[in-house]
């Protein structure tokens, strides 16, 4: 088994127009910047992007928004300093927005990867974000029924991988990357280092079964 691919272009080639794409990262860390650049060059459009943020400045998801490739954003926190391209596309109605509480976003993605039909969470009960959703009272406490969130693809950033697709991370660059590997049907990870020897099984964070391809992207800021 060898999940490594030669270059970024090959890694993003299977992503079609209209695909749903989970993109790892929180703030500026753990974002698969090289894969996003490759996706931009590849040209897929009408994408649904699932990510915590909606890009900032002229990097990452902001590039996809600027180029008009994104039809919908599902995220918890679109409004960050410098999220100008999201705001432009949102204000003109070119991009649809679904705001999901951050823990619910992570858990909906996990539910998809874990084969669950949904879950009950107290998060958002009684608020605008629970409107139209099923609710239940258990032990005197209100819960909201949340459904799994699947995606066709996930673009991830990791520190290292081996050819079996096992991933290791660095510090807070881990964030959404492991759970998105589970939630997407086809997860692609860019890694700083593609190791010739297997990762120590004790230090594997994301087991290779959740990852379909890995590509070395070298050192990036």
Contacts with another protein, residue ranges (CB under 8 A) = 26-30, 52, 76-80, 86-87, 90-91, 97, 99-104, 106-107, 109-110, 121-129, 169-179, 205, 221
Min dist CB 37 to another protein, Å, is 17
CB closer to another protein out of 71 and 205: 205
CA separation for the pair 40, 12 (Å, rounded)? 10
Say how many Å lie between the first and final Cα of the chain, rounded: 31
- Return the number of other C-beta atoms located less than 10 Å from residue 142's C-beta: 14
What torsion, rounded to 10 degrees, do the Cα atoms 214, 216, 219, 221 define?
-40
Min dist CB 42 to another protein, Å, is 26
CA separation for the pair 102, 116 (Å, rounded)? 19
CA separation for the pair 159, 64 (Å, rounded)? 24
CB closer to another protein out of 4 and 121: 121
CA separation for the pair 176, 22 (Å, rounded)? 9
Min dist CB 10 to another protein, Å, is 26
Lookup: tokens for 61 = 């998801």
CB closer to another protein out of 206 and 213: 206
Min dist CB 126 to another protein, Å, is 5
CB closer to another protein out of 11 and 73: 73
Nearest to 37 by CA among 3, 62, 5, 73: 62
Give the SS3 label for residue 113: helix
CB closer to another protein out of 125 and 163: 125
Min dist CB 20 to another protein, Å, is 18
Min dist CB 30 to another protein, Å, is 7
CA separation for the pair 84, 56 (Å, rounded)? 7
CB closer to another protein out of 153 and 178: 178
């Amino acid at each position: 088994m060898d999940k490594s691919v030669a270059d970024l272009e090959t890694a993003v080639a299977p992503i079609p127009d209209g695909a749903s794409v989970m993109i790892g990262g929180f703030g500026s860390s753990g974002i698969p910047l090289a894969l996003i650049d490759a996706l931009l060059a590849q040209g897929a459009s009408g994408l649904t992007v699932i990510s915590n943020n909606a890009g900032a400045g002229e990097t990452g998801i902001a590039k996809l928004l600027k180029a008009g490739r994104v039809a919908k954003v599902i995220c918890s926190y679109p409004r960050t300093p410098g999220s100008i391209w999201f705001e432009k596309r949102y204000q003109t109605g070119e991009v649809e927005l679904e705001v999901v509480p951050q823990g619910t976003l992570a858990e909906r993605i996990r539910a998809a990867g874990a084969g669950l039909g949904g879950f009950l969470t107290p998060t958002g009960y009684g608020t605008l974000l629970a409107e139209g959703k099923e609710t239940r009272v258990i032990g005197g406490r209100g819960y909201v029924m949340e459904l799994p969130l699947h995606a066709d693809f996930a673009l991830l950033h990791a520190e290292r991988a081996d050819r079996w697709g096992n991933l290791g991370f660095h510090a807070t660059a881990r964030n959404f990357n492991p759970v998105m590997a589970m939630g997407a049907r086809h997860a692609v990870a860019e890694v700083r280092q593609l190791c010739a020897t297997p990762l120590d099984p004790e230090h594997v964070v994301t087991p290779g079964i959740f990852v379909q391809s890995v590509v070395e992207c070298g050192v990036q800021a």
